[in-house]
């Protein structure tokens, strides 16, 4: 289950990050004397070779149908993120959305599951290390990447 989730987001995020890196360098990022153009092309290759984001998101759904992976993932995330009180509801909603079988929302659900996994892992690390800043990062992932919010609101 985690393999397609990581492939889904890594391939998708790589294109955005390399595109932004090219923009930071401006004209130098565009010319071939700098590595940015090659990195951007290589970033696109990930989603071509590994499968489009739709296909990889559907792999997440297939893993559940084949092996019941969502139940295992839910238990694992709730164990890791036991200090995040909103996590059980969010994980349940993301799994329900993914299991709805609607192809249009599978990518949305896979993205949410990726971010929930990141938040749970950071919360677990924060507890083991006694790192309050890391715990706040875990909460920020939930607040800014998963929880619904008004797009016109300026609150953090």
Domain spans in the chain, listed from the N-terminal domain onward: 2-146
Q: Are 15 and 47 in contact (CB under 8 A)?
A: yes
Classified as helix, coil or strand, 118 is helix
Name residues whose C-beta falls within 8 Å of residue 45's C-beta, 6 or more positions apart in sequence.
none
Please work out, in degrees rounded to the nearest 5, the angle formed at the alpha carbon of residue 45 by the alpha carbons of 39 and 49. Answer: 155
Q: Are 57 and 101 in contact (CB under 8 A)?
A: no
Residue 104 has pLDDT above 80, yes or no: no
| Other beta carbons less than 10 A from residue 106's beta carbon | 23
Q: Are 112 and 120 in contact (CB under 8 A)?
A: no
Q: Return the structure tokens found at 149.
A: 């919010």
Average pLDDT in the 123-147 region?
Answer: 95
pLDDT score, position 59: 80
Residue 156 has pLDDT above 60, yes or no: no
Average pLDDT in the 40-50 region?
Answer: 77
Distance CA 66, CA 29 (A): 44
Query: What mean pLDDT, rounded, does the chain reach?
Result: 85
pLDDT score, position 122: 97
- Tell me the pLDDT band of 151, cut-offs 50, 70 and 90: low
């Amino acid at each position: 289950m985690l393999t397609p989730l990581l492939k889904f987001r890594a391939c998708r995020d790589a294109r955005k990050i390399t595109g932004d890196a090219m923009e930071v360098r401006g004209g130098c990022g565009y010319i071939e004397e700098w590595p940015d153009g090659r990195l951007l092309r290589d970033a696109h290759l990930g989603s071509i070779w590994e499968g489009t984001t739709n296909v990889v998101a559907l792999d997440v759904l297939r893993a559940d149908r084949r092996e019941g992976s969502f139940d295992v993932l839910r238990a694992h995330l709730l164990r890791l993120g036991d200090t995040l009180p909103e996590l059980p509801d969010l994980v349940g909603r993301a799994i329900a959305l993914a299991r709805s079988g609607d192809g249009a929302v599978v990518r949305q659900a896979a993205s949410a599951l990726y971010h929930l996994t990141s938040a749970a892992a950071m919360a677990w690390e924060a507890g083991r290390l006694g790192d309050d800043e890391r715990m706040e990062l875990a909460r920020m992932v939930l607040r800014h990447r998963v929880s619904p919010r008004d797009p016109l609101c300026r609150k953090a």
